[in-house]
Amino acid sequence: MRPNVCLITLDQFRADCLGAAGHPLVRTPTLDRLAADGVRFTHHFSNCAPCAPGRASLLTGLWQMNHRVTDNGAPLADHLPTLPAALRSLGYRPTLFGYTDTTYDPATLAPRAPELTAWEQPMRGFDIGVHLDDLVGPWLEWLAEEGVDVPEHYFDIYDPAPVEVPPGRGATWAPPVYDADHTESAFITRNALDWLGRTLASDGGAADGAPWCAHLSYLRPHPPYVVPAPYNDLFDPADVPEPVRRADPAAEAELHPFLAGALGVVPSPPDRLDQDQLRATYYGMIAEVDHQLGVFLDGLDALGQRDDTLVIVTSDHGEQLGDHWLVEKLGFFDQSYRIPLIVRWPGMAGGAGRVVDAFTENVDVVPTILDVCGGKAPEFCDGASLRPFLDGDLAGPSTPEGWRDAVHTEYDFRMPTTTAIEAVYGLRQDQCAVSVLRDRRGKYVQFAGDLPPLFFDLEDDPGELVDRASDPTRTADVLDYAQRLLRLRMEHTDPRLANHRATPGGPVHRADPPRPGPVTAAGGA
C-alpha cells in the first residue's frame, strides 16, 4: 500500500540547532521525538542558497547547475520535472501549505502577465491549501479576523511591540504585536489540520483509501529575527555559544575578497549583546516552530494517520547566525548549507532511532519520496533514493556500496537588476558563482572569474578559518579537489538527451548507472 506523504520544510534551519544533535541550549522536543521514531541524517546539506534556488533543488532533485534558479525571483524552467508533477502521475494530489519560492518561466506567460511581477508563486502541480506569497496576505487576513491590528504595510507586522527591553537583553528581544497562537507557523498548522480532516471525511478522498500528500512549508526560523512571548525570553543571551569567527570583521575580510564584499551586505550586529540576543531569538524562533510542528504531528496521530504516513522534515538552507561575522545565508560556509534531515516511514526495516552519518543532499528527497511511493526518479536526477538507509540493518555498514563520499554545493550571486555586484568584484554576471566540493577531510571552493579559490583542512580547521589554497605543502590536495570537482560537474551536466541517438533501426537510449556514484576512486574519507 502506498503511504501518505508529508514533506515539511523549516526555513533557514541550521543542522546544529537540534536537541538531538547535542546543542547545549536549543529545545526541539518535537524534532527530537521524530528522530527517535525515525532516521536522522547528520551530514545533510542543502545544494544551494538562498530560498528559491534551495527549494528548486529540493523539489526537482537537480543541482543548481541544471535547474538554473540562481536567486529569489529567478524563474524555474517549465520543462523541468518536479516532485508535485511526479506525484500526480502516481495518483496523488499534492497540496501546499506555505510557499515554494517559485518564479514562473516567462516563456509560458504573456509579456504583461501579472505573475511576472511577483517572485513568489506556488510551484505548478500543487493544489493550494494556503499560499503565503511574498506579502503573506492570507496570514494577515486571518490576524485581522482574530482582532490583531494589522498595519497597512505588510512587513510592519514584524515591528516590535511598544515594550521596554529589560537589562541584559538585546534589540531583537522585543516581541511582535501578535501572540504565540497567531504566528505564521500556527496559521499553517491550523489550515493543514483542517484540510486533512476534510480530506479524510470527503467522498473520493483519503476516506476511500486514496493516499493524501501535503507539503507544509513553515517560514520560521527565517528572519525577521522576532518571536512572540514566551519564546522571546526562553534563552538568555549570556548563555549562547560563542560564534565561530576570526578576531574581528577586518580579519574575516582578509580571508577572501568575496567575504570583504559580503561583510558589507549581511554583517552580524556590531554590538556583542545584540549579537548574542540574535542567537537567543533565533533559538526561540526554532522553539516556536517546533511547538507548532508538534501540534501538527499530534493531530496526525489523532486522525489515525501516523502508521500510514511518510514524514520528511528538512530545510532549504542554513543560517550564519554571526559565525564569520555574517548573518543570513550565502557563500560557502557550512553554516549556510548544513541542515537537518529527519525521515519517519512506518515501512522502514532499519529500525527507529537510527543516526546516519553518510553525506546526503536535498536532491535526494525527490527520488526518496518517489521510491517509497512506487515511482521512479527521472533518469537525470542528481540525487539518489535514501531508501537503502531506511531499509538498512542497524548492525550493517553505515553506507551502501557506491554512495557519495562528498557533497557538492553552489552559490550564485549575480544580480540582473543592478551592476553593483559586478562592480564590487570586477566580474561579469556569468562569473558571479561559487562551486564547492566538501568531504570529511577538506573543503574546496572554486569561484568563477578571477577570484581565487579556497581550501580548508576540516580535520585541523573545522571552523573554516584558515585558507590553505596557496600553501605550497597543500598543492597536491588543492589539485586533487579541483579535479574531483571538475569531474563531478562534467558527469552531472544536463544529461537529459545526451544518452539518446537516432539510428536506422530506430531511436536508441541507454541510461547511465544510478546516482550517486563515488566521487573519487579512492574515496574522501
Would you please indicate which residues are annotated as catalytic (active-site) residues? Answer: 51
DSSP string, 363-388: GGHHHHHHHHTT----TT-SS---HH
Chain centroid to CA 525: 25
At what angle are helices 29-37 and 272-302 packed, to 10 degrees?
Answer: 50
SS3 content of the chain, % helix, strand, coil (to 5): 35, 15, 50
Are 134 and 155 a contacting pair, CB within 8 Å? no
Strands (E) in 382-473, as ranges, are: 407-412, 433-438, 442-447, 454-457
What is the distance in angstroms between the CA of the first residue and the CA of the last residue of the chain?
Answer: 38
C-alpha cell at 124: 505548478
If we measure between CA atoms, which residue out of 264, 261, 212, 229 comes closest to residue 95? 212
Distance between CA atoms of 272 and 67, rounded to whole angstroms? 40
Residues pairing with 454 in the sheet:
445
Are 220 and 288 a contacting pair, CB within 8 Å? yes
If we measure between CA atoms, which residue out of 193, 76, 73, 175 comes closest to residue 133? 73
> Strand 454-457's sheet: what is its strand order?
48-49, 407-412, 433-438, 442-447, 454-457
- H-helix or E-strand containing 141? helix 137-145
Distance between CA atoms of 281 and 12, rounded to whole angstroms? 14
| Exposure class string for 125-159: b at 16+ Cβ within 10 A, else e | bbeebbbbeeebebbbebbeeeebebeeeeeebee
Q: What is the DSSP letter of 121?
A: B
- Side chain identity, residue 215: H
Distance between CA atoms of 327 and 248, rounded to whole angstroms? 15
Distance between CA atoms of 414 and 418, rounded to whole angstroms? 9
Angle at 252 between CA 251 and CA 258, to 5 degrees: 130
The contacts of residue 99 (CB under 8 Å, 6+ apart) are: 120, 122, 131, 132, 133, 217, 219
Q: Report the DSSP pairing between strands 407-412 and 48-49.
A: parallel
Distance between CA atoms of 30 and 290, rounded to whole angstroms? 6
The beta-carbon contacts of 135-141 under 8 Å, at least 24 apart in sequence, are 136/184, 136/219, 138/187, 139/184, 139/187
- 3-state SS record for 310-354: EEEEECCCCCCCCHHHECCCCCCCHHHHECCEEEECCCCCCCCCE
